Amino acid sequence: MKTIKGPGLFLAQFAGDAAPFNSWDSITKWAADCGYKGVQVPSWDGRIFDLRKAAESKSYCEEIAGKARDNGVEITELSTHLQGQLVAVHPAYDEAFDGFAAPEVRGNPKARQQWAVEQVKLALTASRNLGLDAMASFSGALAWPFVYPWPQRPAGLAETAFDELARRWKPILDHAEDCGVDVCYEIHPGEDLHDGITYEMFLERTGNHARACMLYDPSHYVLQCLDYLDNIDIYKDRIRMFHVKDAEFNPTGRQGVYGGYQSWVNRAGRFRSLGDGQVDFGAVFSKMAANDFAGWAVVEWECCLKHPEDGAREGAEFVKAHIIRVTEKAFDDFADSGTDEAANRRMLGI
């Protein structure tokens, strides 16, 4: 068994225009001060990270990794959530997602998609230059508007969508193989890969690509009423990344999973800071340890109530308390009487 690394912190929800969140030096110092040992980096945020430079310059990668180490943290992974989203966008979401892209490709879905593919490939190359072996992303979505079958879906609609999704991602996954980096899709509502079944549909169409892996985040499963512990056992060989995020689902006679178009505070399903929701993290960390997960436990703060800086500081302590330093021996080794095949056969009467 392996001991999970951590705690790490996903910086996407914290990077901003005000100090200490507006530069790589200051935000990594702040994260270390909060108690973190690693940071997951949003590759799209130029205030703290230059993606193109990281893909083209190993010296730049050495510089930022060295600065992080000097400040007390290491880089756990890069994230391409926003760029991955743009690899596949249904026209219904064109305007909503346009803001994720560079200004020069907005309003041009074809150019935007090409830009997104290049961005994800750059992040894979940058990951290799940083000595990382996994990258977080979203799959994007072509079929999401049809997730609820009313009117009934035409025969083959979902299959065609997943065929196309796999066609778009296959060259990226091949580049990931060349870089020695896993693409870890966050299984997430709003993405075509939003549960285990849809992940399997995609995986089959990529030829069970070795680099098409999973980012496990139990909060998204709580809100779907999916068994988040069984999920770990089912996909243990594909789970290569772990977001530690809490959630709660409190259905009423007025609303359930869909939330009634309410704000996050007023939804039946809400994201919460660690320890304030319903996820059984004792069981989650136990499953991860038993299944030899060797990656990072990365806090992703998303809470509809608590201040992010409070959530971050509390989250570091929460993860530290839940990481299991795995044992190197069995508890009953003291009673071991050795191995003797002849004695074993006598004990069995054979």
At residue 335, the pLDDT reads 66
At residue 338, the pLDDT reads 74
Indicate the number of domains in the chain.
1
The token pair that represents 136 in the structure block: 């977080």
Instruction: Please state the φ and ψ torsions of residue 345, each to the nearest 5 degrees.
Output: -65, -40
Global pTM?
0.95
The token pair that represents 87 in the structure block: 């690899």
At residue 334, the pLDDT reads 66
Please name the residues in contact with 348: beta carbons below 8 A apart, sequence gap of 6 or more. Answer: none
At residue 330, the pLDDT reads 75
Encode the chain (350 residues) as per-residue pLDDT tens digits.
789 999 999 999 999 999 999 999 999 999 999 999 999 999 999 999 999 999 999 999 999 999 999 999 999 999 999 999 999 999 999 999 999 999 999 999 999 999 999 999 999 999 999 999 999 999 999 999 999 999 999 999 999 999 999 999 999 999 999 999 999 999 999 999 999 999 999 999 999 999 999 999 999 999 999 999 999 999 999 999 999 999 999 999 999 999 999 999 999 999 999 999 999 999 999 999 999 999 999 999 999 999 999 999 999 999 999 999 998 877 777 667 677 888 899 899 99
Question: Which structural domain, as residue segments, surrounds residue 50?
Answer: 5-348
Cβ-defined contacts of 12-20 (< 8 Å, 24+): 12/40, 12/42, 12/45, 12/79, 12/81, 12/300, 13/300, 13/301, 13/302, 13/308, 14/301, 14/308, 14/312, 15/42, 15/45, 15/47, 15/48, 16/47, 17/47
CATH number of the structural domain spanning residue 335: 3.20.20.150
pLDDT tens-place string over residues 181-197: 999 999 999 999 999 99
